[in-house]
Amino acid sequence: MTPQTDFLIPNTLSLASRAAWGGALTSLADVQRFVAFAKAQQLPCLVLGEGSNIVTGPEVNACVGLSRITGIRVLEENPEWVRLEIGAGENWHHLVMTALANGWNGLENLALIPGSVGAAPIQNIGAYGVEISQFVQAVVCVDEAGAVQRLASAECQFAYRDSVFKRRGELVITTVELQLHKHLNVNLSYPDVARWCAEQGVVQPTPSQIAGAVMDIRQKKLPDPEQMPNVGSFFKNPVLPASQAQALRQTFPQLSLYAQPDSQQLKLSAAQLIDIAGCKALSQGPVQLWQKQPLVLVNRGGGTCAQVLALATRIQQRVNSRFGVWLEIEPTLLTRLG
């Protein structure tokens, strides 16, 4: 791998953006060399997957690598479960489909999430009642000194849309170890998935049918990034102290509240807050809210990073003014580097 100057940064928001240096990383050795190169250039080192969860400025003064380490390898298995090692550059949805084809269950609720396997633990991706942290056994990464570290699941400090990798951006993920089960234990906790099965007359759904339900629901609600540039959910669902959330619902009875593992907190729907606050018609040039899912900001062509962030700020301000809740942006902002 030879770093290239003036490197085009791929991103699913279709924002024009270039890095000082960049290149594709296809092996652990590539990652270690790239980390050393960035250190020699005295620049931040960033390694991305498919650019599906970033908002990037026009000029990023950093060394940006693209993770292209692939492979799905069985480390250990028995009649109950299988433990896999997956390259960080593997496409996430491809992993889900490969797992289903082999009878490895658990990831079906996470079907069709854009991005790579290496990006998944950073955000602790979750959808339809499931988070990747439920299956992570370990994450292997390279630190800023080029040393290889293997962090067990507990060391990853997973939380809602969060992990240690968000706070320690110098760690470059190279492989992820997941443990999936072989028995049938589908998750129907999310109302939309249960409703889909009922409407289809599916009483005892298989993991493949759950994946089909999730893909159908997602395709009806969310735009395909290849057709309409976006990064998926732009804001996190706010998690509030139960007393604050319940007080809000006394004023706004239509608000949905969702129980959390910590009984002292409740989660609200950011999409619902945005809708009630009257944000759906807001736009900033070609950057607009997706009408079928107001959590999604789309770039209809030629939009800039400044326009994306300006619209996000307007939404945050309006929601805060109405509910006293400040929405947190979910994608990573690559706008203040170097």
Helix axes 207-221, 191-199, angle to 10 degrees: 110
Say if CB 63 and CB 169 are below 8 A apart. Answer: no
Helix axes 92-101, 207-221, angle to 10 degrees: 150
- Tell me how far apart the alpha carbons of residues 206 and 105 are, in angstroms, rounded to a whole number: 10
How far CA 77 is from CA of 147, 179, 182, 309, in Å, comes to 29, 9, 10, 46
330 is catalytic: yes
Say if CB 337 and CB 22 are below 8 A apart. Answer: no
144 is catalytic: no
- Tell me how far apart the alpha carbons of residues 186 and 206 are, in angstroms, rounded to a whole number: 7
Say if CB 233 and CB 218 are below 8 A apart. Answer: no
- Tell me how far apart the alpha carbons of residues 110 and 92 are, in angstroms, rounded to a whole number: 9
163 is catalytic: no
Which residue of the set 33, 83, 161, 218 is catalytic?
A: 161
For 157-217, what is the HEC assignment? CCECCECHHHHCCCCEEEEEEEEEECCCCCCCCCHHHHHHHHHCCCCCCCHHHHHHHHHHH
Residues with catalytic roles: 161, 233, 330
